[in-house]
Structure 1
Amino acid sequence: MAQNTVEDSPKTPVTLLGLGAMGTALARAWLAAGHPLTVWNRTAARAGALAPAGAAVAATPAEAVAASRLVVVCLLDDASVDEALAGADLADKDLVNLVTSTPGEARARAAWAERRGARYLDGGIMAVPPMIGVPAAGPYVFYSGSAALFEEHRAALGAPAGARYVGADAGFAALHDVALLSAMYGMFAGVAHAFALIREEPVAPGELAPLLGSWITAMSGSIASTAEQLESGDYTGGVVSTLAMQVAGQGTLLRTAEEQGVSAELLAPYLRLMERRLEAGGGEEDLTGVVDLLRR
């Protein structure tokens, strides 16, 4: 008799609390992958809509938690987790919290779960709902906390999106999540300023867009060199354009914004940090020293 393959093995049952846009996308991905799924949502109609696809609908969070060992939470915020799980028995459960949080909140939630007899993983979702369940779109989730929990449920956790374990410290998933999101918003700020500069000119945004995209992609190579300099402690290695040169060119950016009637409020804080680093003697460095100025 042939042995069962991994594909033939029974799929891990999953309980999911929270069916907003992201929760619903996760639910549909687990159902499509063949995982028995129990769902609960404060607005019952959202849970009921998944019943035709095969989801079991629980009337209460406690009922949903009781249905599966693996319990995934995708609620609005940390306070919502307290409220939803207040009456649930978490003993011997594997709790995965996908609520966006700070590292400190994640560590506190891990301790909270441990006191209630549960193993715990915190997660940071690096995707928007349409990417979930679409491997080609590149979605993934950072996980941190119980390594044993992660290894046992790796296949189930990886069904909606790639699963990346970043450490036993429960706060690390949130830390990685927020670090990447912070970089994203910094990029958005630069893009917003760039579009503002051309807003009143006969330059179509659609013409500038591919130029912006390719330029940002080209400049993203500096991320690796920044990491290398931070690890080595030598901020002058491999410098192409020194801090002194870049500060000397700041005036052009600011004068252009003034001419175009555009506020420099998105650029000015970073430019001031560059000036401070130059004043501290970092003229021959790259921009890496700004990182140290941000630490308090």
Structure 2
Amino acid sequence: MARKHDGSPVTVLGLGLMGQALAGAFLRKGHATTVWNRTASKAERLVAQGAKLAGSVRDAAAASPLVVICVSDHEVVGGLLEQLDDVLDGKVVVNLSSGTSAQARDLAARAARRGGALLDGAIMAVPDEVGSKDVAVVYSGSRAAFDAYEPVLRDLAEATYLGEDHGLSSLYEVAVMPLMWGILNGFLHGAAMLGAVNVNASAFAPIAEQAIGSATRWLAGYARQIDEGVFPPVDVSIDLHRAEMQHVVAESEALGVNAELPKFIRAMADRAVAAGHGGESYPAMIELFRAPG
């Protein structure tokens, strides 16, 4: 595929908050943008900005060589592809809807049967951040399709190609979700503890942000240990982490705060210690996550 120049026509199927943000970013970058949504009224603001509203999903897909789909999940994407049998030939479909890696591979096969090349993508951002170079979208699938449309995709966010396996981007997306929930649940637990002694969450937030920043700086070193399978205690051993976990449990209980989360974390550490990892660094806990529960 030839590399597409700036201003290449684009179609966006699905105009929820993220779909509207995607279409808006394309419009701001000068792309002729066709949009479609089951509820046509959601396109009004985009039409006012210059988008063309298609009367059907088939008309929308036929209007552009690049078709971006952002709907609720992969099952809905599959339903849309079923309606596009004779209009996908030679087109590139970019799926930015959430789902599993197996579903992404199935969608790629469905698109291929209709003559289209599919890129599966995962947006590592919220709608308001689309169009910023500070956020990223990861893509997997057809290398030729990514290379052809990389300049267009970079009008949405930093574009990172992961590989030919169509399921990789969905797998990255679901891998990031536990990270997000872990941070958020940890913040909520800490805010509940401090709130028990009348400290506002707003006072805790900047301290929490500093702690999160420190933790992110550990990741590259921890990743090397995981990849190498060797876990020297270069900072704090699991034994010492476990002792601190017990302090969190005891403090939570003393404050009348729900201690289920720190007790669960401590129980994981107990299992790691029982398996002989107590003197190793925290990344040795990966062995518990690799094993079925």
> The TM-score by the shorter chain falls in which range?
over 0.9
Structure 2 residue aligned with 1:80 = 76
1:76-108 Cα offsets, whole Å, 9 max, x none, are 112211222322132211111000111111111
- Please report the RMSD computed on the Cα atoms of aligned residues, expressed in angstroms: 1.6
Q: Which amino acid aligns with 2:153?
A: L
Structure 1 residue aligned with 2:152 = 156
1:275 aligns with 2:288: no
Of 195, 199, 202, the match for 1:199: 195
Identity of aligned residues (%): 37
Q: Which amino acid aligns with 1:224?
A: A
Contact 1:150 1:165 in 2 (8 A): yes
1:171 aligns with 2:167: yes
Structure 2 gaps of 5+ residues are none
- TM-score (structure 1 length as normaliser): 0.93
Q: How does 1:39-188 map to 2 (within 5 A)?
A: 39-88=35-84, 89-135=87-133, 138-188=134-184
Structure 2 residue aligned with 1:212 = 208
Q: Which amino acid aligns with 1:251?
A: Q
Which runs of 4 or more aligned residues in structure 1 lie more than 4 Å from their structure 2 counterparts after TM superposition? none
Structure 1 residue aligned with 2:234 = 239
1:132-178 Cα offsets, whole Å, 9 max, x none, are 1233xx12101000010001000111102111111111111111122
Q: Which amino acid aligns with 1:253?
A: V
Structure 2 residue aligned with 1:250 = 245
Of 261, 269, 285, the match for 1:266: 261
- Taking the aligned partners of 1:268 and 1:10, their CA distance within structure 2 comes to 53
Structure 1 gaps of 5+ residues are 1-5
State the number of aligned residues. Answer: 287
- Taking the aligned partners of 1:83 and 1:13, their CA distance within structure 2 comes to 24
- Taking the aligned partners of 2:265 and 2:245, their CA distance within structure 1 comes to 11
Structure 1 residue aligned with 2:287 = 292
- Taking the aligned partners of 1:251 and 1:163, their CA distance within structure 2 comes to 43
Provide closer, same or farther for how the CA distance between residues 108 and 41 of structure 1 changes in structure 2, counting only shifts above 3 A: same
Of 11, 14, 20, the match for 1:18: 14
- Taking the aligned partners of 2:259 and 2:102, their CA distance within structure 1 comes to 33
Larger deviation, residues 90-99 vs 241-250: 241-250
Larger deviation, residues 74-83 vs 121-130: 74-83
- TM-score (structure 2 length as normaliser): 0.93
Contact 2:236 2:282 in 1 (8 A): no
Q: Which amino acid aligns with 1:283?
A: G
Q: Aligned to 2:199, what secondary structure does the other structure show?
A: coil
Q: CA deviation at 1:10?
A: 5.5
